[in-house]
Amino acid sequence: MPAFKAAYPRIDIELISSDRRVDHRVEGIDVSIRIEAQLHDRLVTRRIASRPFLFCASPAYLDRAGVPATPEALREHACLVFRYPTDGRFLPWHFIRDGQRFEAKVNPGFICDDIDMLAQIAVNGGGIARLADFVAQPLIERGLLVALFEPGSRTASYAESEPMDIYACVTERSALNSKARAFIDFLAQALQAGSSPHPQDSEH
């Protein structure tokens, strides 16, 4: 946001970070940033980025519980599951292997509606987490978490995590004024460059 403000100093910004269901018209929201599960048919959407999910656990957990050789083995492990606070659904764990998409069955060891909290539970040995790359990668680089089902990982079978698509949303095409377009274009470039926010509803 500071970089956007520096580029467009005449645009005033109010940023709301929330996982609740928001109404653009009632709350005066110009643009919201959502993942696919948060979309509905009353929104005009533009996909602005696709970021990978990483499945990971702490070295201590893997030493204690073993390393899952395949996604199917996740049902035998403590899995740290994200629940959408808006409707109570679990975020499914999807994989792609040999061109085929499938959902792994999981054994919920912990359930939480906060991604950062799930990451900390994983770091502290609570189980296997599915985290966006911008959450997981710094922890992996510090040796606090180990990536699973990745080339060169400790798992025997490679499977690709289905990526997370991120969308910019407005209520109708007439809402795409010059300010909204500038914000969406700037955010899309930032996400593609590797700098991204958490996938909550964020409003401008």
Q: Is this model's pTM higher than 0.75 or not?
A: no
Phi first, then psi: what are they for 78, rounded to 5°? Answer: -75, 115
Average pLDDT over residues 130-148: 94
Residues 6 and 26 in one domain: yes
Residues 25 and 79 in one domain: no
Residue-wise pLDDT tens digits, 158-179:
678 888 888 888 888 777 788 8
The confidence score (pLDDT) of residue 126 equals 97
The confidence score (pLDDT) of residue 163 equals 83
Tokens of 153: 């990982």
Give residue 185's Cα distance to chain centre: 20
Is the Cα torsion angle 106, 111, 116, 117 positive or negative in sign?
A: negative
Average pLDDT over residues 90-109: 88
CB 122 within 8 A of CB 112: no
Domain CATH code at residue 120: 3.40.190.10
Ordered DSSP codes for 108-177? EEEEES-HHHHHHHHHTT--EEEEEHHHHHHHHHTTS-EEESSTTSS-SS--EEPPEEEEEEESSGGG--
Confidence class for position 5, pLDDT limits 50, 70, 90: confident
Residues 87 and 178 in one domain: no
Which residues constitute the domain of residue 64? 53-161
Residues in the chain, how many?
204
The confidence score (pLDDT) of residue 86 equals 65
Number of domains within the chain:
2
Confidence class for position 197, pLDDT limits 50, 70, 90: very low
**Residue scoring higher pLDDT (76 or 156):** 76
Residues 37 and 105 in one domain: no
Cross-strand partners of 130:
55
Residue-wise pLDDT tens digits, 29-65:
888 888 776 777 778 888 888 888 899 999 999 999 9
Residues 46 and 120 in one domain: no
| CA atoms of 106 and 77, how far apart (whole Å) | 8
Residues 155 and 57 in one domain: yes
Residues 135 and 195 in one domain: no
